[in-house]
Amino acid sequence: MRTIAIIGAGPAGIEAASVLAAMEETEVLLFEKSATTLDNLRDKAFLFPDFSSAADLVEIMEAKLDRDNIKLHLSTAITSVVSTSSATEAGGIMAWELQDASGVRYQADAVLVTTGYKVFDAHRKEELGYGIYPGVITSIDLEKKLKEGKILNAVGDTPKKIVFLQCVGSRDEKSGNHYCSKVCCVTAVKQAIEVRKMLPEVEAYVFYMDLRMWGGGFEEMYREAQEKYGVRFVRGRISEAASTFDGKIQIKSEDTLVGLPLKMSADLLVLMVGMEPSEGTKTLTHQCNCADAYGFATTVNPHLRDNETAQPGLYVAGSCKRPMSINDSLTDARSAALRIAEYLK
Amino acid sequence: MRNLKFGFAISIPRSINMDTADNRLLKQLEEEVPSFKRCMNCGACSATCSARQFTDYNIRRIHSLFRMQQYQDLENELKPCMLCGKCTLVCPRGVNLRSMIMNMRKILTDPKRKDNE
């Protein structure tokens, strides 16, 4: 019997658990710090690029856990992961010991870290007015509104103008995050389309620095947003937001394609917040000496050994490595599961 | 007065104020030339443009200004275009630029222009 400990029951953790649990003589211990699985996914309404329902994916992922050899430990924060034997003992397999916040210890033959990301805290960009003006919301707040099927402005009316701002907390030295969060570009395109579907009268503007339509079907979505849904894209970063007397948000930017400064008032300003390593990710990557400058997990080799850390038996997958879409996290988790199966063979 | 030169010129301050912008001409153009909306500002049109090589004429910028509903002086800015259509040939997003330029001229010089400027 082999025991694999997986830390974090998000899409990556659950996918890897289900792949590993399908193998013979295997037991998976799946740890989740909060009281429910898939916390970040549960906030979402629709998924790019096919606009499928996030609730459906949650249901499918939950069903994958329905196996006797997956032991799900909810509300269990793993605070320590250490190897208790050297690789030369036990036929090249290291023994691992995990400890949770209440001091309970668990033994495993391999450990997979899937502790994921946390959303950038938009309060840190004070000039954009999040938490100060009710008309300024984040992409996560908007996603919840889309899920409820109701979007209102700060004074409780149907909005007429919605502005999206890309790269909040990403590609920004002032936030300490030089990296691109990867999913926000397409998320804004998706949300702008959703908003226009829900409120056909609303004008939607997306302020961007670059639009990075990296995935299959993304560029087509962008084109459709322009052509079919009339979403207007403006190249320029919003430098500051202020409130007007009637509860709107006044923004300042530059249309860098024209080379002129720009002023505009909007009912809602949606900040496309980026990804940062979650607290769990930061704790474990630092403890296991595999943290990059931001606290994301680094791997042995980004091309061929992208789930392995320098320590045999310790693997990483999903957005604890770098910002990643749900689909990429799922793929990455399956690849990690395969690596672990090979290692324990 | 026009011929008096004081050694300096006062440029018209220009900034985009989207709250006073009038989207009627833009909507009219988008109806006439639906492909207008697809532009992603790559600049291939301006790069290939013969008029661009010898004058300040910049069709990419004119497109952007029109999209931001800044129509001031655009009918004059459009004058150097000879309607050769090379821009339409090179556009990766299939924007019908030649038709766009023709329609811009038509809309901007219409005696019954919709924004009554």
- Cβ-based burial of B72 (10 A; exposed 0-12, middle 13-18, buried ≥19): exposed
User: How many Å apart are CA A127 and CA A165, to the nearest integer?
Assistant: 13
- The answer to whether the Cβ–Cβ distance between B15 and A234 falls below 8 Å is no
- Cβ-based burial of A38 (10 A; exposed 0-12, middle 13-18, buried ≥19): buried
pLDDT of residue A88: 57
Residue B89 belongs to what domain range? 23-111
Distance from CA of B16 to the nearest CA of A (A): 4
pLDDT of residue A234: 97
Asked if A110 contacts A98 with a C-beta cutoff of 8 angstroms, the reply is no
Q: In this structure, is residue B30 part of a structural domain? A: yes
Average pLDDT over residues B41-63: 96
Q: In this structure, is residue B6 part of a structural domain? A: no
Encode pLDDT of A8-36 as tens digits.
999 999 999 999 999 999 999 999 999 99
Q: In this structure, is residue B1 part of a structural domain? A: no
What one-letter code names the amino acid at A117? Y
- The answer to whether the Cβ–Cβ distance between A262 and B15 falls below 8 Å is yes
pLDDT of residue A181: 98
Residue of A247, A241, A243 whose CA lies nearest to A271: A241
pLDDT at B55 over 90: yes
pLDDT of residue A345: 86
User: How many Å apart are CA A115 and CA A229, to the nearest integer?
Assistant: 37
Q: In this structure, is residue B79 part of a structural domain? A: yes
Chain A residue closest in CA terms to B36: A227
Asked if A17 contacts A28 with a C-beta cutoff of 8 angstroms, the reply is yes
Question: Could you give the C-alpha distances from A49 to A14, A193, A231, A344, B99, in angstroms and in order?
Answer: 22, 11, 17, 36, 32
Within 8 A of B34 by CB-CB distance, chain A residues are: 227
User: How many Å apart are CA A46 and CA A146, to the nearest integer?
Assistant: 8
- Which residues in A have their CB inside 8 Å of a CB on B? 211, 222-223, 226-227, 230, 232-235, 255, 257-265
Instruction: Say which CATH number the domain at B77 has.
Output: 1.10.1060.10
Q: In this structure, is residue B18 part of a structural domain? A: no
pLDDT of residue A75: 97
Q: In this structure, is residue B39 part of a structural domain? A: yes
- The encoded tokens of residue B115 equal 């924004």
pLDDT of residue B8: 73
Global confidence as pTM: 0.93
Question: Could you give the C-alpha distances from A12 to A213, A239, A337, in angstroms and in order?
Answer: 23, 36, 10
The partner residue sitting opposite A258, judged by closest CB among B34, B37, B64, is B64
pLDDT of residue A85: 77
Encode pLDDT of A159-192 as tens digits.
999 999 999 999 999 999 999 999 999 999 999 9
pLDDT of residue B114: 78
Can you give the C-alpha Rg of chain A in angstroms? Answer: 22
Q: In this structure, is residue B73 part of a structural domain? A: yes
Listed as ranges, residues in chain A with pLDDT below 50 are: none
The partner residue sitting opposite B41, judged by closest CB among A227, A257, A262, is A257
pLDDT of residue B11: 63
User: How many Å apart are CA A154 and CA A175, to the nearest integer?
Assistant: 27
How many domains does chain B divide into?
1
A255 beta partners: A260
- Cβ-based burial of A290 (10 A; exposed 0-12, middle 13-18, buried ≥19): buried
pLDDT of residue A116: 98
- Interface confidence, given as ipTM, is 0.87
Q: In this structure, is residue B89 part of a structural domain? A: yes
